[in-house]
Chains A and B, each alone.
Chain A
Amino acid sequence: QQQVKQSPQSLIVQKGGISIINCAYENTAFDYFPWYQQFPGKGPALLIAIRPDVSEKKEGRFTISFNKSAKQFSLHIMDSQPGDSATYFCAASTTSGTYKYIFGTGTRLKVLA
């Protein structure tokens, strides 16, 4: 029940295309859903996060879509650029209690120039 399932494992997109990464969770106590971007040799860095009181959040080229009833959320990267090539992790947490993040297994994105 603590798992967060992420797909696909890897993704190749042409420059200018849309990258879509999906995550699903089971624990209905989760109420904070961040996406992290990680470059090789670096720690994860927060991209964008959403709480379940909204169905969508957009920041620049990055959008999270959230479906509370389906317990799914996704990251959309519009106008994907080669500099977006990285590994992306979804995560889930609660805003009460121990606040620990449960991470997905990651999606390795490659954007072709």
Chain B
Amino acid sequence: EAGVAQSPRYKIIEKRQSVAFWCNPISGHATLYWYQQILGQGPKLLIQFQNNGVVDDSQLPKDRFSAERLKGVDSTLKIQPAKLEDSAVYLCASSLGFGQQETQYFGPGTRLLVL
């Protein structure tokens, strides 16, 4: 079974530029998560989708971050414009169903460096 795919794996941009990350979850997984992991910290949930609807985006900085999951499959996370403090690893995860008991499967992440 293929895992969660993410691209690109690395990205370096200058502040005020825009960047987009792509995630393809495990086939058949209804729930998709985007996490931000700053160096030395645990992952922090940015947004959670169930199918193509947003369940939780309370921690998403909506003035600069946006995400979509068209057709309830793959997803894109965008930052525009980027700030220095956005430097982090962006992790995508998916789970078969919805709920805290569901096992989340994580992709390898996209490492973003904002200069």
B is bound to A? no
